[in-house]
Amino acid sequence: MDADTSTILVEHLKEHGLACTDSAEQAVTVISPRNSKIFTAVGGIDALGEWDPGELATLPVGTVCDVLRMERARGCRTVSALSAAGAAVGPVLHSPGEYIDVLVPVGSLDDWDLGGATVLPKNAPLRIPHPTVVSPKVVKARSWLVPPQGATLTEGIALYEAYAAVGASLALEGHPDVDS
């Protein structure tokens, strides 16, 4: 993307009330299901573009964020532990199959070695609802448990520590299927 195009895009996003930075290097493509147009957004998770709240958008993993998928019960306990520890908690998505996805900065899960959770591969399509679709509202079996707000993402190291602590706690409680 050339500088003129980037400037025009940034101004367009700002005119429509989307938070963004002025850096073309942080561009990400989001496919809008409303009209099959591709929106290029600049900045963080808060600049995904506009789409029909009744549809899902596709965010390629590794462009704006990486994603850790975990079983819902352990994931909710992990998010609660993060919050109780005073850590910043970014977007958390409830996905089909009783999983939750936690969005983290790109590269912060590169050394993940704990079992029971999956680091989604780079460029995997993450289907996300509009930021206003917050649980208990659901669109196509997805909703935000923690909606995208600003540019906050959960730090990978904080997520790792909370996930390990919850795993240890579950093991002490006698849960037989805990990989820690």
Tokens of residue 116, six digits: 């029971």
Rounded distance between C-alpha atoms, residue 152 and residue 55, angstroms: 23
Does residue 80 register a pLDDT over 90?
yes
Peptide bond into 53 cis (omega under 30): no
- Considering the entire predicted model, what is its pTM? 0.72
Tokens of residue 121, six digits: 């591969």
Rounded distance between C-alpha atoms, residue 13 and residue 73, angstroms: 37
Give yes or no for a contact between 40 and 9, defined as CB atoms under 8 angstroms apart. yes
Name which of 32-36, 47-51, 94-98 the model is least confident about: 32-36
Task: Provide CB contacts within 8 A for 36, sequence distance 6+.
Answer: none
- The pLDDT value given to residue 20: 38
Give yes or no for a contact between 104 and 153, defined as CB atoms under 8 angstroms apart. yes
The CA-based diameter of the chain, rounded to the nearest angstrom, is 60
Rounded distance between C-alpha atoms, residue 160 and residue 5, angstroms: 39
pLDDT per residue as tens digits for the range 82-100: 999 999 999 999 988 889 9
pLDDT per residue as tens digits for the range 1-30: 344 444 444 454 444 443 333 333 333 434
Tokens of residue 75, six digits: 């994931």
DSSP 16: T
Task: Provide CB contacts within 8 A for 32, sequence distance 6+.
Answer: 38, 39, 49, 50, 51, 57
Give yes or no for a contact between 176 and 128, defined as CB atoms under 8 angstroms apart. no
